[in-house]
Structure 1
Amino acid sequence: MKKTLFVFGLAAIVAMMASCSGSGEEPKNITPTTTEFSAGEVAKYVEVVDQPAELTYTEKEYYQYLRLKVTLKLIQDGIKDVDARDIHFQSSFLGGVYINLVDESGSRIDALSMRSEDDLKFKKFLTGNMGDTAVFVFEVNYGNDELARERFKNAVQFTPDETPTSIVLGGESNATVSDSDSSDAAVSSDSDGEDWDSLLDSYEEYVDMYISLLKKASSGDLSAVSEYTSYMSKAQEVSQKMADATSKLSPAQLSRFNKINQKMLQAAQNMN
């Protein structure tokens, strides 16, 4: 879900200027509308187990979190003869596995992404055997208590959404798992097309702007509010460029992309 990065940025900035109040809600179980993920290479490996999943509302400092514990199952043998730490995900924007919360009318409420703490666990899961199951936590955070409680109250089901468009194997091979022989890690390469170096320059500028706003917001600098319009403009520009891209990143470009993401995530964690 390409909008998730921007939702995350908005929530993080607003949260720095908000104060949390009230207590949590009682956990509840919600059911999947389907077991299949809608798109992505990872969708060929995993599906949601057709059973209720626990949705919780919690608060931590300035944030409110909705977390969903979902059981996933391998629907074919996973990626063999590879260290899980050498598995990387590539997408047209920020890679990840997503779940949508759904209300009584069947309308999407919000998107939850697999939490970062489960990243290595999920990669190890992808090296398993058909039929294996494991529980993963999907979450979304807010800086608005009223909104978070409303979303929690209205959620009655969930729908598997997108997964990363490519699985890239690190190490010396820098391989991309192919459609025809994924279990044996067949390889392909495609780094022609877009000027990814220019796109990554724009993306890094966006991340630097995001970090600057986080620091200002955390110190109570109200100029962060006036600068937010420019931030969103940059976000939309980068999002459109990434969405229009059709070629894949080279291994070096993917490495840079991951480092930029890590810089952004580290800055957010330092604000906690």
Structure 2
Amino acid sequence: MAQIHPTALVDPKAELAADVSVGPYAVIGPDVCIGEGSSIGAHCVIEGRTTIGRNNRIFQFCSLGAAPQDKKYAGEPTQLVIGDGNTIREFCTFNTGTVQDAGVTRIGDDNWIMAYVHVAHDCVLGSHIILANAVQLAGHVHLGDWVFLGGLSGVHQFVRVGPHAMTGFQTRLSQDLPPFVTAAGNPAEAQGINQEGLRRRGYTPERIAVVKQMHRTLYRRGLTLAQAKDELAALQGTAADAQADVRLMLDFLANAERGIVR
């Protein structure tokens, strides 16, 4: 039997794995599914069509799976899907998706999400992400793997942040932030590359050198974005172990409909 505090309200139709723990005064709705090893803190409200994977630790006072804050939403059966091994701290709010997008707000695995973070409808978060306190994501935002967003950062709707990118404290992102790039400011300005993060993830000096070269091409040579793309394409094949990094950057830029942070 799941370990459910006697003051918690868990709908009989909810699906909880045998070892899930539910804290005092939590409320869990009928269309919620929670996987093995997960814990739900006191006073959490988990509702809507919400699926939570294994070994997640959700701290007190979170609201997960509520209807999207979108005036077009008309009660359609949209979802919130959370992966495995996430830490979700106090007072976080994650909403379900809308039919104007894929209908799913999706969180990956092994993310560290600090207090007061808002993840709006139709956001897609990868894995190994860190969102510091009070990060606010508007609707349809996409974050790649290993992204770090500094405290009180805000991300405009439909903005994408590439893998390994990073922002400083109180950064405002209204355009796409390419992979590997660090940014800060209001509005955001590119500062450099996330070199220390790459080193910690096992990037070789040769791979990091190629990432630096991509950054110089985008930001230090006075090229237009179109010219920079041509220069980046020429880097393919110059370093075998960085081939995937160049491809990642080119694919990201090819879909930068809002432009990029410059």
TM range (shorter): under 0.3
TM (normalized to structure 2)? 0.26
Q: Which has the higher contact order (CA 8 A, sep 6+)?
A: 1
TM (normalized to structure 1)? 0.25
Which structure carries more helix by proportion? 1
**Largest Rg, 1 or 2:** 2
